[in-house]
Each structure stands twice: as C-alpha cells, then as structure tokens.
Structure 1
Amino acid sequence: MTRPNFLVFMTDQQRADHLGCYGNAHVRTPHIDGLAARGTVFDRCYVASPACMPNRSAIMTGRMPIAAGARMNGVPLPLDSRTFVDVLRDAGWRTALIGKSHLQNMTDNAPAWRNGLDRAPDQARRNGRDDPAYEQESIARWRDPGHAVRTPYYGFDHVELCLEHGDEVGGDYQRWLEREHPGADALRGSAHALPGGSAAPQAWRTALPERLYPSAFIGERTCAWLEQHAADRAAPFFLQCSFPDPHHPFTPPGGYWDMYRPEDVALPPSCGPARADDVPLKRALHEELAQGRRPAGGSRMIAVTPQEARAAIALNYGSISCIDDVIGTVLARLDALDLAGDTVVLFLSDHGDFMGDHGLLFKGPLHYQSLVRMPFIWADPQAPRAQRRPDLASAIDIAPTILARAGLAAPHGVQGHDLAPGAPDAPASRCAALVEEEGHRPMPGSGLPKVRTVVTQDWRLSVHAFETWGELYDLRADPHETVNLWDDPGSAATKSALLWELARSMARHADDCPLPTRMA
C-alpha cells in the first residue's frame, strides 16, 4: 500500500474520555472502539486551540493558529494557506469533505471591539478577508439557492457542507432535506420539538427521525462517495467525514434521545459550585448561575447545576452513540467495497467540552483537561495491532503524520511532527504541548481571553495575558485540576521552569514561513 487511502472521521466538541476506548464504561461506542482495538490510541493528544476554527485550521495546516492566521473563532483560515489536503491533491489523491468544515465563518455576527466601540477602529493591518471568497460557509450566503462552495476548497475537490449544529444544520444538508423529503424542514428546531424535554441547557427532543438527522445524511453521502470512487480506483482518496455533533444544542434523534438516563450518569469528580480559592473567572461564572444572570444561548462557557450536567452528559452520550452507529455503517461499506485493506482510518475531534467539570459546560479560556485533550485514533491496515501512546502529541502533528504515511514531504512552515514510531522527527522526546487561545469578547469577572498554556507529562501551566492570576496544576497528584498551585511557595521552582518552557515553546512556534529574503 504505497499510496494509501485516508478516511477521517471527525466530531465536534467531544471530549476524549467520552469514548469506551478512552476508559468510559457507560457510553456505547463499539465501532470507534473497534478502530482503537486494531490501531493506535493517543492518550495525550492536545489541541492547538480549544475552539473550532483555530484548531481545525491547525489540523489542516500543521501550524499553530497564530502562525496559520486563524487565531480564533471568527477569523477564517487564509485562502493562500497550503493545507495537507492541498499537498495530497497535488500528488494525485482524490479529495472530499462531507459534513462540517468551519474553516470560515458560519454566522454573520458583527465583531466586538476591545475599545468598546460599536464600530471598527482604525486597523493596524488591512483586512484582506472581506470578499465573498471568505463567505463560502456563511449562513446568509446559503440562503441564495445558487450559492455553492468553490472547489478546490482548502484542497477538497468535492464538498458537501453542513453548517451549525444539532437538528438546525444548514448548507447542503438543508438542501438535501428540502429536495428529498419535502416538509421535513418543519420538523426541526426547538419550536417543533416533541414533548419530553431535558434539564440540559440548549436541548430539545427533535421531531426529525433518525434517518433524516444530519449525522445520517453525512453517513449516507459518505457511503455514496465511496461507491463512486470504487467504480474507478485509478487514484487513492482522502475523504473527511465530519459530524456537527455532539456539539450543543443537544438534539439526539429518536431512540438516542433517551438511550442514557441522567440519573445513571456519573458526574465528574470536580463538578460542583466554585470555592473561594478558585480562579476569578470560575467564581464569576458560578455567580452568574446563582444570581440568575447566566446567558441562555450561544457557545460561551457557562456554569451549570449537577442536575443540568447529568442531563447534558446523557444527551451528549446519545449523540455520540448515534455517530458511532453511522461510523459502523460507513466502515461496513468500506469493507464491502474492498477498500478497507488500502485505507488508513482516523478518528478525532476538534476539541473537548467541560461537560460538568468544575460545574461548567461548553468551552472557554480555562484549559482543563476535558477541554484541551482531544481523542485521536489511527488505524492502519499495514499495522493492525492495538497500542496506546502515552507520549505528548498535538493537533499540529496530524497533518505531517498523514503526509509522511502518504510518502510526501510536509511544506516548509509546518510545525508539527510525524508521529510514526521511529520517524526522524518523532516527538517521543517532546517535553511539552503548546495551547493558544484568543477571544474578542471579555469574559465575566475577567478580561479579554488571551491565554497560553503549556502541558507536560506531569503539569499544566496557563498564563492569562490580561489577568494578575494564573494556573498551575500537578496532573499526577491532582488529575482533576482542583488545587491551583500558582501562588504556592513550594511550587515556585516548578512554576519558573514551566514559564521558561512556555516562553521557549512560543518562540519555537513563531512563524518562519515564507522563507527570508535571499541575501546577495
């Protein structure tokens, strides 16, 4: 298999330990666990950023978000980026994306400016990303029946796009639903929900049947693409099957809605109200909850009650099991088409979710393990044996690992490393993983999110640029990150060493692309 196929399953906002193969004894994920049983499970893979757009951009480019030019949600990946899919396509691979992309903005929300104005301030650099080419995933654009993604799209020659989440997904899915199942659109959204709600925030029992749900559509279209490819195998393929779930709103369809009972769900050990010694941001979020000021919608992190956390986890499990069943269908089709023996299969998510950790839900600038640790499974038919990798890996390692397996060189400027055992630049000796987070809206009781985190085998240190407080956790002694040692005199030497490592890591990941000007 000198030119292997690649099939990538990707989920949205799923924590690593919400899979059986990552130690969860409650959620049922037999097909994903089957991949793990014949492949490599990376136990310590970390995001480059704990938000959708920047981490997806990091995965696509093998570059940290700041270097890639997509530092936060709301800042699209530059179209002049050279993704690993571009490299595969140029080398002869057929490339396809079915499902969620989120390399460009889906919503049309106006930016919030740090200066407090409701208008754009004078900019230190020209935008360059305000033309229609950067609006291809925009919900507003998709209201035009003639709108379509221009291909190649970041290297993908075939794109069937899904926008947003839950049963409110738009894009090509919505057009398919209207075309193939007239009237089914009236079954979607909270306004058409079935009786029997949930205590979880942003949750409703969708009236969409399982066969019409976005996850089923993605599986059906993935199988159709594989069948088309099987008719002409002159070239290898790279196919990304990308699910908008289990990201909120929580709307698992049919029997997946009540597949798990909240009362049977185990809460994370750190779930509960904030303590006096917690960081100010966490305390402010819990004060919002206690005072009834918590925002009802959106993706910003919120505090939740234990009852709400149990309900959210139960529905999250239902969405994950739904996805697992779809993955099982796709893998069965891959095998039936006699493609499995030539196809490397990957499973990953773009980032995690607090899911009750520290009494929080969704995502935000507190880099607990539930948020920054991502699932990553690599199943290669040429190495069909189960193994677990405890060494540190990063989202930026995925691109160069795929390219190396394809026998292709990574472009100059790629900052990740080939994860294959014995690779010349394998990061087995990597001492730390770097995580970046940028935000453009201040958090309650805190300032503008701008965080840099370094994770080692034993520690996690986070520096908040506009705060006087920081975070330092001993992951061996305190795996649930409940005791912040930032101001602990006994941890001063460790803190100093980690700050040094953070500075060095940030310097190592500064952009060195393009090449310097040639000197005469």
Structure 2
Amino acid sequence: MPDRRPHVIVVLTDQQRWDTTGAGGNPLDLTPAFDRMARSGTYARTAVTPQPVCAPARAALQTGRWPTATGCFRNGIPLPRDARTLAHHFGDAGYTTGYIGKWHLAGEDPVPPADRGGYRHWLGANILEFTSDAYRTVMYDEDGEPVRLPGYRSDALFDAAIRFAADHHEEPFFLFLSLIEPHHQNEVDDYPAPDGYAERYTGRWLPPDLAALSAASPGGTAHQHIAGYLGQVRRVDEGLGRLLDALRSMDLLDDTIVAFTSDHGSHFRTRNSEYKRSCHDGSIRVPLALRGPGFDGGRVLDAPVSTLDLPPTLLDAAGLDVPEEMSGRSFLPLVRDPGADWPEDVFVQVSESECGRALRTSRWKYYVVDPAADGWRTRSGGRYVETALYDLAHDPYELDNLVGLASHRALADGLRARLLARIAAAGEPEPVIEAAPERRAEQRRVDPTVRGFKLAGMRFGHQRKQP
C-alpha cells in the first residue's frame, strides 16, 4: 500500500461513443483534456460496457458484478440495499465518499438514504434528465431537499465536484461524478448543447457506421442530432479540463486517480428503435482513460477490457483488497506488463430491446438472441439463436453480417463455445445456442490458423537470370 492513499475520482458520462474522442479517432479535436489523459496516463483502446442500458451498466460499475447477478438487468429495478458498492469498500478503508449527479439505481426522487449505495455525501437525482434540462440543473442534497445549480448542466456538476475536492482534500476521498451529457433530453428528444456549440459541428463529420446507416434507417437521427451531441461532448471535456486544473491548483493532481468513461454508447436509432440496447460497437464501446498513481506513463491497453473491470482496478490501485464477489478483474497487472495474462474477449449482456448475449474479441463480434424471450422481463435466455457475426478487422463498423455463412461455421462454433463459457462464468443458467440457417457466399473463406495472407512459394522483386 502506498504511504499516502490516493484520492479517486470517477467521471462517468451518459451515452458517449468511444469515437467522440481524439484517442478514439475523432478528427474534430473535441476532447483535448481526455486525449492528454490517454497520452500521458493509461488508455483502453477497446473498452466495452457489460450492458448497453443505463441502470444495468451503472449497477455493474458500482458493484463490479454482472447485471444479472445484482438483479438490475434492465432499467427500473433498484439496486438491492444489501449490495456492496465502491462506496462501501472505499468507506470501510477510511475514505470519505461522495456521489454527484445521475444515479438511476433507485425507484424515486429524491433518492432515500437507504438507496444511495452507501455514499456518505450526496448531491444527486435518480433520473437527472427528468429533474433538469440544459440550463436548469436540479438535484437533491443529503436531506432530500432540491438544490438548483447555476450554469450549463455539465458545468454545474463539475463545479460541484471541484467544491467536493476542495472541502475534503485533507483526507482520502472517493468521488463518483455522474453526468447526463451527452444523453438526449427525453421530453424533446434533442441534444441541447451550450449556446453556439452545436453550430461548430453542424455538417462536419459523421462516424462511418452512422453515415452508412442513417439514410437506410427510417428512424435514424444522426444527421438531426450529431451536432448537438458533439457540442455536448466538447463542453464535457472542457469541464474535465477544469477539474484537472483545480486538482493541480490544490496540489492534489499527483495524488489523485482520475478515471473517465461512459455507461454505454449511441447508434442514433440506426440499429433498432432506440439509441442503444444493441450488440454493435456504437452501443457497447465507450471511452476509458485513467491517470494518476499507477496509471501514468503513456500506456495503451490493446486487449479488450470491460468497464466491469474498472471497480476492482480502482480498489487495486488504491491498495485495497478486491472482494471475491466481484466478477470483474483488475487490469492493473496489464498496465504494468502488456504481456500479463488477460482474457482475449469480453462478454456483454443485452436486455429490454431483446434478451441477447455477445462476445467481442479484438477481431470478432459474435451475438445471439433468445427469440422467445421478452427482454424487459427475462433475466437470462434459455434458447439463443445466432444473430450476428462481424469481422471487425475488415468490417470495423459492422455493416456486413456474416452469420450463417458456411465458410465461417468452424469459427462460429469456436466462438459459441467461448460464449457459453462466459455465460456460465457469469452465473447464468446454461442455455442452448442454435446455429443460424446456413448460407453460402462465393470467395468467402476464413483460415483460423493464419493471420494475413499465405504467399507460399512466391518471390518478390526482380530476379536476375543466372549466366
């Protein structure tokens, strides 16, 4: 354990795609503060949520357990009061704990003290998008009294986080800051950026999947909403920069672990009738960077990691024991040694829109759905059917579904076995996964033993004839 325990701050956004960041390939310079964290700290190149729905993802981030294990497998199911959260683990170790922002793990607003996950200091709302809008931020304090904060909403929450750090800088603290941006404002189905920010990004850039799918998806909203969405992302990053500057001014920056991530992404209704709730990277892939003790040095994690792994990683980095009940695994050894033992895939549960399960490796995405299950009522499926297979090395935006191809049957069988093992490890009942109907495509071939092309017997360059 270090001589001085580090402070720990988690900054969680809502519905932010991984490719909104410069580190994730965005060309618009939206996230200079995040990108500096990614360059000088630790950046997870492929970070994946365990569930692309608000409440289940948040339950996993608080407990380090699968949504099916906590019971919060969809929205509208409160986190059990006896669930052990990061607040309990850090609090038991002598940390002052605080929560600011959206909770979405209770059944009402204001959130009763018993439903606050063990956090000592509280300034939040269960569903922040219902109690506030862009320039009217209303949350509830520890006494359940409404508090209106001045400024644009994400600015107001960062200001509150800075005040928390200033008030508790003499003791180790754990702060969870949960923003609503860049989530849409539900009652108007819009992405209200600060004044003048949407105009900066109107007509400038669309992620390739959205550009390809928006015109073909009758309900797709990317062209309508992307400018406001990106404007929100830019303002959030400015808030992150202010938070880091404030920590520096209080001589706390070198002693504070800061983790930045999101609960899930957004596909702007191009994959289904909602913004998320699908297996595609637009839904499940999120930004993830950390800085501070244990994470500085410009490290990049190439192996896929789940944000389910973030809770044990934070405890490990603070020198605290990781509870056996946590399903996630600390990736701190991977930060220290890129060759450390680490799984080659991540597991994803999908609910509400359907009951589905997915496996994502560095190259492949394998997805199954239980066609008879109601995703709103069913925690775990019993009979899944292969629904999608994507070759992410050659189709990174998942536009060509290979499921059922005879050329990929052996590969799919291997992925099916790995997915079944993941389902069992998550504590779910053992299901059946049925193969998709077979189909054939000319010239399709996959050789699982070879990376790249075989060029046996070929020579390159000019061959001079022998005299």
Find 1:461's aligned residue among 366, 380, 387.
Answer: 366
Give CA-to-partner distance per residue, 1:80-101, whole Å, 9 cap, x none.
Answer: 1111221110110111011112
Change (3 A) 1:19 1:357: farther
Find 2:208's aligned residue among 268, 282, 285.
Answer: 268
Matches within 5 A, 1:198-347: 212-230=151-169, 233=170, 235-249=171-185, 250-261=191-202, 263-269=203-209, 271-272=211-212, 286=217, 289=218, 303-304=219-220, 308-347=221-260
Shift of 1:175: 3.1
- Kept in 1: contact 2:154–2:179 (CA 8 A): yes
Change (3 A) 1:36 1:360: farther
Question: Take 2:112 and 2:37, find their aligned partners in 1: how far apart are those partners?
Answer: 32
Shift of 1:9: 1.0
Question: Take 2:183 and 2:117, find their aligned partners in 1: how far apart are those partners?
Answer: 24
Question: Take 1:464 and 1:511, find their aligned partners in 2: how far apart are those partners?
Answer: 15
- Kept in 2: contact 1:270–1:482 (CA 8 A): no
Shift of 1:159: 1.0
- Kept in 1: contact 2:259–2:291 (CA 8 A): yes
In structure 2, what is the equivalent of residue 159 of structure 1?
A: 122
Question: Take 1:359 and 1:155, find their aligned partners in 2: how far apart are those partners?
Answer: 36
Change (3 A) 1:38 1:155: farther
Shift of 1:149: 4.0
Does residue 374 (structure 1) correspond to residue 374 (structure 2)? The answer is no
In structure 2, what is the equivalent of residue 86 of structure 1?
A: 88
Shift of 1:256: 2.1
Relative to the length of structure 2, the TM-score reads 0.80
Shift of 1:38: 1.5
Change (3 A) 1:248 1:315: same
Matches within 5 A, 1:181-196: none
What SS class does the counterpart of residue 162 from structure 2 fall into? helix
Letter in 1 for 2:52: P
Change (3 A) 1:412 1:273: closer
Question: Take 1:85 and 1:459, find their aligned partners in 2: how far apart are those partners?
Answer: 36
Does residue 19 (structure 1) correspond to residue 21 (structure 2)? The answer is yes
What SS class does the counterpart of residue 9 from structure 2 fall into? strand
- Kept in 2: contact 1:352–1:373 (CA 8 A): yes
In structure 1, what is the equivalent of residue 441 of structure 2?
A: none
Shift of 1:395: 1.6
Question: Take 2:211 and 2:271, find their aligned partners in 1: how far apart are those partners?
Answer: 4
| Structure 2, unpaired ranges of 5+ | 186-190, 373-384, 430-467
Does residue 175 (structure 1) correspond to residue 139 (structure 2)? The answer is no
- Kept in 1: contact 2:42–2:298 (CA 8 A): yes
Question: Take 1:63 and 1:484, find their aligned partners in 2: how far apart are those partners?
Answer: 31
Shift of 1:355: 3.8
Shift of 1:160: 0.4
Farther off after superposition, 465-474 or 331-340: 465-474
Change (3 A) 1:50 1:428: farther
Letter in 1 for 2:204: D
What SS class does the counterpart of residue 218 from structure 1 fall into? helix
- Kept in 1: contact 2:210–2:222 (CA 8 A): no
What SS class does the counterpart of residue 286 from structure 2 fall into? coil
Give CA-to-partner distance per residue, 1:32-62, whole Å, 9 cap, x none.
Answer: 1121122011011111101111011111111
- Kept in 2: contact 1:42–1:389 (CA 8 A): yes
Does residue 483 (structure 1) correspond to residue 451 (structure 2)? The answer is no
Question: Take 2:251 and 2:214, find their aligned partners in 1: how far apart are those partners?
Answer: 54
- Kept in 2: contact 1:84–1:410 (CA 8 A): no
Give CA-to-partner distance per residue, 1:339-365, whole Å, 9 cap, x none.
Answer: 11210111000011114766976112x
Change (3 A) 1:267 1:236: closer
Letter in 2 for 1:24: N
Find 1:384's aligned residue among 296, 303, 313.
Answer: 296
Question: Take 1:360 and 1:74, find their aligned partners in 2: how far apart are those partners?
Answer: 19
In structure 1, what is the equivalent of residue 332 of structure 2?
A: 420
- Kept in 2: contact 1:98–1:160 (CA 8 A): yes
Shift of 1:176: 2.8
Letter in 2 for 1:175: P
- Kept in 2: contact 1:260–1:314 (CA 8 A): yes
Shift of 1:236: 0.7
Letter in 2 for 1:378: L
Change (3 A) 1:496 1:169: farther
Change (3 A) 1:361 1:315: farther
Relative to the length of structure 1, the TM-score reads 0.72
What SS class does the counterpart of residue 257 from structure 1 fall into? helix
Report 1 or 2 for greater relative contact order, CA contacts < 8 Å, sequence distance ≥ 6: 1
In structure 2, what is the equivalent of residue 349 of structure 1?
A: 262
Question: Take 2:122 and 2:340, find their aligned partners in 1: how far apart are those partners?
Answer: 33
Shift of 1:257: 3.4
Farther off after superposition, 310-319 or 376-385: 376-385
- Kept in 1: contact 2:213–2:270 (CA 8 A): no
Shift of 1:511: 7.0
In structure 2, what is the equivalent of residue 407 of structure 1?
A: 319
In structure 1, what is the equivalent of residue 458 of structure 2?
A: none
Letter in 2 for 1:84: L
Farther off after superposition, 487-496 or 378-387: 378-387
Question: Take 1:498 and 1:260, find their aligned partners in 2: how far apart are those partners?
Answer: 40
Aligned Cα root-mean-square deviation (Å): 2.7
Shift of 1:75: 1.4
Question: Take 2:340 and 2:89, find their aligned partners in 1: how far apart are those partners?
Answer: 22
Shift of 1:397: 0.6
Question: Take 1:27 and 1:316, find their aligned partners in 2: how far apart are those partners?
Answer: 14
Question: Take 2:367 and 2:340, find their aligned partners in 1: how far apart are those partners?
Answer: 22
Find 1:492's aligned residue among 381, 390, 409.
Answer: 409
Aligned residues: 401
Report % sequence identity.
29
Letter in 1 for 2:121: H
